[in-house]
Structure 1
Amino acid sequence: MAPTTIAASELSRLLGAWATGDGTLSRDLAASLVELIRAGLIPPGAGLPAQRALAGALTVSRGTVTAAYEALAAEGYLATDRGSGSRVRSAHHWLHRELSGRFFSFTNAPGDVVDLSTGALPASPVTYDVLARPVTDRIGSYLVTDGYFPAGLPALRQAIADRFTADGTPTSPEEILVTSGAQEATWLAITGLAGPGDLVLTEEPTYRGALEALRGAGARVEGMPMVDGGLDPTRVRRAAARSPELLYCQTSIHNPTGQTMTAAARHALADVINSTGLATIEDACSADLTLAGHGAAPTLARLVDPALLVTIGSASKLFWGGIRIGWIRAAPERIHGLVELRKPVDLATSVVDQLLAVDLIGHTEVARHQRRAMLTEALAGATATLHEVAPDWTWEPIAGGSGLWVDTGDDAVALVERAKRAGVKLVAGPGFSTYGGYGDHLRLPVWHDPDVLRTALASVV
């Protein structure tokens, strides 16, 4: 799939805190663009935004962008044609694939930066308890093996299957594939079901990690507006007439909006999937993070033909992202194919992490209670702080999750750029959009201390 022009909002996000203050803005911008090109974060042949558009996104003069582009062209990084803009020359690019800055940014934030760009939560209390116990008494029997279990440790596959069963979805270990985190599960599922040029349907907005996997697969992604917390089944049925290869959705707790589908809409969506034979990936990674009721939020499991449904789950949201455990639930035949797809890039998940996950999953109900209490309290503090610091911002009440989908009523991309210079990391709506929309939205985590949130936002609002 041919590279396209990078949106100004996306390039602003990739650049991060590019203005060092040690030289001119144009020199800083040029140096940062070179870093992105050499790191493989801007693909060969990709068009850079128009100078005026990038200047607006970065809140600098057009002359600053012009000088930076000219410097890169002089050094051979850009090819500039009158009327067609500036494109990255492939000679200076070593990855030769389209990437995004989301995962790059996880390791790119200095210690003095307040990071409000991710909804990832700190470890839950029960995780401290489990990690305090040594694993030496449980790992001994595995030390005499080669340590490679491509589908996952039998004990963990059983524990995950038992958790599904306890939640009302009878599951066998053969229907479970353990992965090194949910992002690997997302990549595997998408790569196994969609390829270059395939039409994939999803919510608009949607989880940005899935968008990156879909774009990496070369798929054509069509976002459908959310209605009452989820997809409109009637609209999905109409779209299914165009023979999409795949539906990617989140019907439990949606990231980034924190909404959930109504039971009636979920059943109607399941009917569409079953009647049209539409292969579906359901991302249920946030299903445990409910703010009301007991247990996890409901999903499409039990409603959809198992041959059509792939469910993605994670230990990160409930327990801790440092335990790199995700999983896929699917029909055994599909699990077998995904294991084969995985082997060339990741032979197996860490045995130690898997043993810890067995213990953690045994404390699921405790962890759910802890997360619910934490997020309920944090949400109250965050909303009070937002009403105080940014009274014009609005958002819909959430059913769960770790963040708010905030409408700032203004240019959120420019706000993110101002925030960078104040040592605050935010993420704007276009990163969650299939078409670069929601330029007035922020995805804002709620779990930070209200004083930290107040100080950070007061410096940029």
Structure 2
Amino acid sequence: MTALDASELSRLLGPWTTGTTTLTDDLVTALVELIDAGLVPAGARLPPQRGLATALLVSRGTVTAAYDALEARGYLATSRGSGSRVRSSRNPLQSHPSGRLFSFTSAPADVVDLSTGSLPASPVAAEVLGRLTDVGAYLSTDGYFPAGLPVLRQAIADRYTRDGLPTRAQQILVTSGAQHATWLAMTALAGSGDLVLTEEPTYRGALEAVRSTGARVEGLPLIGGGLDVDLVRHALARRPQVLFCQTAIHNPTGRSTADGTRIELAEVLNDAGLLTIEDTCSADLTLAGPAVARTLTGLVDPELLLTIGSTSKLFWGGVRIGWIRASETRIHGLVELRKAVDLASSVTDQLLAADLIGRTDVARRQRREMLTDALAATERELCEAFPDWRWHPIDGGSGLWVDTGQDAVALAERAKRVGVKLAAGPSFSTYAGQRTFLRLPVWHEPAMLRDALSTL
């Protein structure tokens, strides 16, 4: 049975108070909408009343009254010792979302969205997207290329090769974004009951993908920016099926695994034969040193490693193109799995991506300049507004992992009520932990960020 954590339900509820009726009525209305939409699935157990009241900054009596009203309307079934769960008759979708990706829904125009690290289009992307794409050569085909357009697969392979990782086009599967790639990789490698290891904290989209497979997930703490290799060794005794990691630029912490640790980790993975999915979507967003951060590619047996990449961070999220780099045998299997749910990615997006990837060097310089300046401005604003907040210097990426020293879930709830959207730590956690942390984007204009922080 799905059990919702109070912080997850708080994210799903969004700005639920209206100010036009009682808090109880507002909460009942918001919960009914979530249940009817299938976002809180049939059979889901709602959080304990006291915990939800704390997360929503309301009295326990408000939550108790809301649960009672929902039970009276046939939405909940309550039993002593088991809590309150959604009745199976209430929605037919049987979906199991965790709310970890819920911040990617569009925020209203009057809300300052500090919950996502997604970047605006880079100048080189604006230049390319401003031109019409020539699709004439493909109009005589059916438009379906399940593995990706040959020209794009080759462009991605060439980029890996220029970066020092010799790659053939046949080792690339083009997907409709990195989240699609993560879901494909996880679905191909893990199933119900399998154990998936990951970092703690980790990319919330990966947690959503693991959950969709029915697999169990265990987070291993980060030590000095990377996985503790000894903890990985000990975890092998529990017979994990997959490791999901980010050794280049980690999301959400922005830190990179030390070269020696990465080499040691690769040796453990090779010796154990542990299947590994590495997310390298932020590897191009380095702030110093090499233009692209080092990864496990070239260190781990190619039959064990699936590497995920994307155009979203370097160019723009509106170009929905991601990819998986793996052995040719693995790619064949992934293509067949992909065709069952998604025949192919958009031809026009793929042509745009091929053009953009040819300008990778320019885009990397642009992103580094932008993020370096933006990071300095953001840190100044944070130090001024909240001198007690703490964070580690980052190696790259588009966000800061900030320890507020207080309940960040409650802070996010208060922020919703004054028009500021925040991403609290539990959405990046395997066990709804990291409760004092926020992931804050660094790219907003200083004046806008100053106003949002001052509002908080």
The one-letter code sitting in structure 1 at the alignment partner of 2:308 is: I
Please say if 1:301 is aligned against 2:297: yes
Within-5 A mapping of 1:13-412: 13-135=11-133, 138-412=134-408
Contact 1:167/1:295 (<8 A) preserved:
no
> The residue matched to 2:217 in structure 1 has which SS?
strand
Q: Which amino acid aligns with 1:209?
A: G
Once the two structures are TM-superposed, the CA of residue 117 in structure 1 deviates from its matched residue by: 0.5
Greater CA deviation, 126-135 or 353-362? 126-135
The answer for unaligned runs of 5 or more in structure 2 is none
Name the aligned partner's letter for residue 132 of structure 1: G
**Distance in 1 between residues matched to 2:389 and 2:111, nearest whole Å:** 23
Question: How far apart, CA to CA, are the structure 1 residues paired with 2:5 and 2:189?
Answer: 27
Q: Is the 8 A contact 1:256 1:443 kept in 2?
A: yes
Partners of 1:104 and 1:223 lie apart in 2 by: 21
Quote the offset at 1:183 in angstroms: 0.2
* Identity rate, percent: 69
Structure 2 counterpart of 1:426, one-letter code: L
- Amino acid corresponding to residue 295 of structure 1 in structure 2: A
Q: CA deviation at 1:141?
A: 1.1
Deviations 1:25-74 (CA, angstroms, capped at 9, x unpaired): 11111111111111111121111111111111000111111111111111
Worse overlay, 157-166 or 126-135: 126-135
Q: Which amino acid in 1 is paired with 2:226? A: G
Q: Give unmatched runs, 5+ long, in structure 1.
A: none
1:426 aligns to what SS in structure 2? strand
- C-alpha distance in structure 1 between counterparts of 2:99 and 2:138, whole Å: 37
1:425 aligns with 2:421: yes
Q: Distance in 2 between matches of 1:36 and 1:132?
A: 39
C-alpha separation in 2, matches of 1:95 and 1:454: 42
User: Which 4+ stretches in 1 moved above 4 angstroms?
Assistant: none
Letter in 2 for 1:51: Q
Deviates more, 1:289-298 or 1:103-112: 103-112
Q: CA RMSD in A?
A: 0.9
Partner SS, residue 173 of structure 2: strand
The question of whether the paired residues in 2 share the 8 Å contact of 1:188 and 1:341 is answered with yes
Name the residue aligned to 1:434. 430
| More displaced 10-residue stretch of structure 1: 411-420 or 70-79 | 70-79
Tell me, what secondary structure is at the counterpart of 1:91?
Answer: coil
Aligned partner of 2:440 in structure 1 is: 444
Q: How far apart are the structure 2 equivalents of 1:105 and 1:287?
A: 23
Q: Structure 1 pair 404/165, CA: closer, same or farther in 2 (3 Å)?
A: same
What's the CA shift for 1:134? 1.5
Per mean C-alpha deviation after superposition, the further-off stretch among 98-107 and 352-361 is 98-107
8 Å contact 2:4–2:98 — kept in the other structure? no
- CA distance in 2 between counterparts of 1:351 and 1:249 reads 30
Once the two structures are TM-superposed, the CA of residue 237 in structure 1 deviates from its matched residue by: 1.4
Give SS of 2:174's match.
strand
CA distance in 1, matches of 2:202, 2:264: 20
* Counterpart amino acid of residue 170 in structure 2: E
Residue 388 of structure 1 deviates from its aligned partner by 0.3
Aligned: 1:416 with 2:382: no
State the distance in 2 between where 1:105 and 1:259 align: 22
Deviations 1:166-217 (A, max 9, x none): 0011000100000000000000000000001101111000000000110111
Is contact 1:403-1:444 (8 Å) kept?
Answer: yes
Contact 1:319 1:367 in 2 (8 A): yes
Query: What is the rounded CA distance, in whole Å, between the counterparts of 2:127 and 2:295 in structure 1?
Result: 30
Q: CA deviation at 1:100?
A: 2.8
Change (3 A) 1:104 1:431: closer
CA contact (8 A) 2:11 2:102 kept: no
Letter of the 1:201 partner, please give it. L
Deviation at 1:102, TM superposition (A): 4.1
Superposition TM-score, scaled by structure 1 size: 0.98
102 and 202 in structure 1: CA distance in 2 versus 1, 3 angstrom threshold: closer
2:17 and 2:106 mapped to 1: Cα distance?
14
Corresponding position: 1:6 with 2:4: yes
Q: For the residues of structure 2 that align with 1:237 and 1:40, how far apart are their CA atoms?
A: 39
Instruction: Report the CA distance between 1:242 and its aligned residue.
Output: 2.1
Kept in 1: contact 2:103–2:116 (CA 8 A):
no
Counterpart amino acid of 1:266?
R
What letter is aligned with 2:33? E
Corresponding residue SS for 2:127 = helix
- TM-score, normalised by the number of residues in structure 2: 0.99
Residue 241 (structure 1) shift: 2.4
Q: d(CA) in 1 for partners of 2:238 and 2:82?
A: 33
The letter for the 2-side match of 1:77 is: Y
Question: Is the CA contact 1:419–1:426 (under 8 Å) kept in the aligned structure 2?
Answer: yes
